[in-house]
Chain A
């Protein structure tokens, strides 16, 4: 069995907090695609995503010492930081209006730009994809609207045309089921 990847990431984060530039480079090399992929998926704009990814890692460099392993894994800390930063960007007024227009034109099917989509398809193993898909459309849809579109749970309920309580339940149960499904996976 290979060592848990988060153990290594945690070590790299700790070293980064101590000012170790090599550790920071390693951390970037082992997580950059993960972070950037998430940021691209949220922003749908390669130029903006590039900026945000860079901001995320600068923030990692500067705040690595705030990583607390008792509050979650290093990977989760990193992705939380990246997601928050990307969503903040999305929610800024300008970005929001741009995206609203984009949304009108693509209806309810998320359509990443061709480059991203192509790469995604190349990288997406069936097994990887299945965890979210297995949740079934209502839960998957609620989770993806919240996580990738940067909507609040209130906005999710509006977008889906369901009561707020229903949206909350789908988000919560979807996440719990996802957690249970992932339980056995590395």
Chain B
């Protein structure tokens, strides 16, 4: 098939690539090329079907515990994420959020006013204050809610820095799947009162949004804090 070794194609690397038998530099080269070359994409799809045949006959049932743990974990994630997915469609993938931050767009900043600083104290010191916690890349992210105050506070957290023009925005994920903005987080390193009433929410989610925030999330959530109870 030397006739196919057209300069610029990656024919000699496609088969090793289909087997993951390439180093990182080669993988990058192949993937760059695939972006623009339908011929090589077709060839790769073809080779990958052959690769499927390599593991024919090696079937081995996983230990039963795997299924149980998976379904549990998936159910836990779905409780938080399903409303987001339903709303945004399948392109709004939770997985990338779990893997870390994905930067998008360009953004602005919103001020923390004195009125909101006061609200922080009112919520955090409320008799019925409840702390809800999740993790983002090992960093705890805490939301405090108070039904009495009808407010929620996002506690100061060491969130990853965002590129200029991008900002964290908080969202109330309602039981019925509606997603309401809870405001742009001007400074994650300070406690911030969220806009709106947390009542009827299953979670507070954070996403990275463009300047000034968005009416609805335009990127994947980077973390969701379930509001249990």
Tell yes or no: B62 within 8 A of A by CB.
yes
> Judging by beta carbons under 8 Å apart, are A152 and B23 in contact?
yes
Q: Cβ of B57 and Cβ of A171 under 8 Å apart?
A: no
Q: Which of A40, A83, A124, A146 contacts B57 (CB 8 A)?
A: A124
Majority DSSP secondary structure for residues of B touching A: helix
Does any Cβ of A come within 8 Å of B39's Cβ? no
Contacts of A179 in B (CB 8 A): 46-47, 49-50, 53
Q: Which chain A residue lies CB-closest to B93?
A: A65
| B213 vs chain A, min Cβ distance (A) | 25
In the complex, A123 has a CB within 8 A of chain B? yes
Option from A25, A50, A172 in Cβ contact (under 8 Å) with B12: A172
Give the A-B pair count, Cβ closer than 8 A: 189
For the complex, is A12 an interface residue (Cβ under 8 Å from B)?
A: no
Q: Is A4 an interface residue (CB 8 A)?
A: no
Mask for A31-49, Cβ within 8 A of B = 1, else 0?
A: 0111111101100001000
Chain A residue numbers with a CB within 8 Å of B56 are: 128-129, 131-132
Kindly list chain B residues whose C-beta atoms are within 8 Å of the C-beta of A29: 67
Q: Does A160 sit within 8 A of B, measured CB to CB?
A: no
In the complex, whether B94 has a CB less than 8 A from a CB of chain A is yes
Within 8 Å by CB of B51, from A21, A41, A76, lies A76
Among listed B78-86, B146-154, B195-203, B204-212, interface-contacting one: B78-86
Show 30 A/B contacts (Cβ-Cβ < 8 Å), sorted by A.
A18-B85, A19-B78, A19-B82, A24-B71, A28-B67, A28-B70, A32-B62, A34-B55, A35-B62, A41-B55, A41-B58, A54-B66, A58-B74, A61-B70, A62-B77, A62-B96, A63-B95, A73-B52, A87-B20, A123-B59, A124-B57, A129-B56, A147-B54, A152-B21, A152-B23, A156-B21, A172-B16, A175-B51, A176-B1, A176-B50
